[in-house]
A and B are shown apart, each in its own frame.
Chain A
Amino acid sequence: QQQVKQSPQSLIVQKGGIPIINCAYENTAFDYFPWYQQFPGKGPALLIAIRPDVSEKKEGRFTISFNKSAKQFSLHIMDSQPGDSATYFCAASKNGGSQGNLIFGKGTKLSVKP
């Protein structure tokens, strides 16, 4: 019940394409769903996050879609660029993350070809 399953493990798209990364969770108590971007040898950076009271959130070229009934959420990257090549992690937490209990997916390595 504590797992967050992320897919695909790796993804290759052409510049300008729209990569989509999916995550599924089991615990219906989760109420905070952030996405992180990590470049090799660096710490993860918070990209965008969503609460279950909305079905979609956009920040720049990044969009989270959230399906509460299916217990799934996904990250879309519009007009992808080679600089977006990184590993992306989804995560989920109860109580807005107040108790340090962020559960991470295993990551998706994205490669955007020029």
Chain B
Amino acid sequence: DGGITQSPKYLFRKEGQNVTLSCEQNLNHDAMYWYRQDPGQGLRLIYYSQIVNDFQKGDIAEGYSVSREKKESFPLTVTSAQKNPTAFYLCASSIGLAGVYEQYFGPGTRLTVT
């Protein structure tokens, strides 16, 4: 069963704690992405990675960190430096076909920090 999995579905943390969100894909896609979604907002890109051991900052990378040690895995750490971490986090992956990179999303993780 191919797809993108994110765990956990819901995550609760106290302010000041770092937390790591998991994203795994078995689609053999080269590129992976992390987005943040807030109510009434579109998706905003946090980080993306086009190949293993390489990643680039997106529009809102401050307070976040990532790693890409394996093709199928792209974990996101929300650090205590992120001022408003409560949000819905979405992971996506893509592969280039005929010059187009269609992005496919996982089910998301809702993070609540109190």
- The answer, among A9, A43, A97, A106, for a CB contact under 8 Å with B100, is A97
* Total number of B residues with any Cβ neighbor in A under 8 Å: 29
The interface on chain A, measured as residues whose beta carbon lies within 8 A of the other chain's beta carbons, has a size of 28
A51 to B106, CA, bound (A): 24
Question: Distance (Å) between the CB of A19 and the closest chain B CB?
Answer: 19
Interfacial residues, chain A to chain B (CB-CB below 8 A): 4, 6, 9, 32, 34, 36, 41-46, 49, 51, 89, 91, 93, 96-102, 104-107
* Contact between chains at A106 and B108 (CB < 8 Å): no
Inter-chain contact total with CB atoms closer than 8 Å: 68
Report 21 cross-chain contacts, Cβ distance below 8 Å, ordered by A residue: A6-B42, A32-B100, A36-B105, A41-B110, A42-B108, A43-B4, A43-B90, A43-B108, A44-B43, A46-B102, A49-B100, A89-B42, A96-B100, A97-B103, A98-B96, A98-B99, A98-B101, A100-B45, A101-B45, A102-B103, A106-B41
Residue of A nearest to B58 (CB): A100
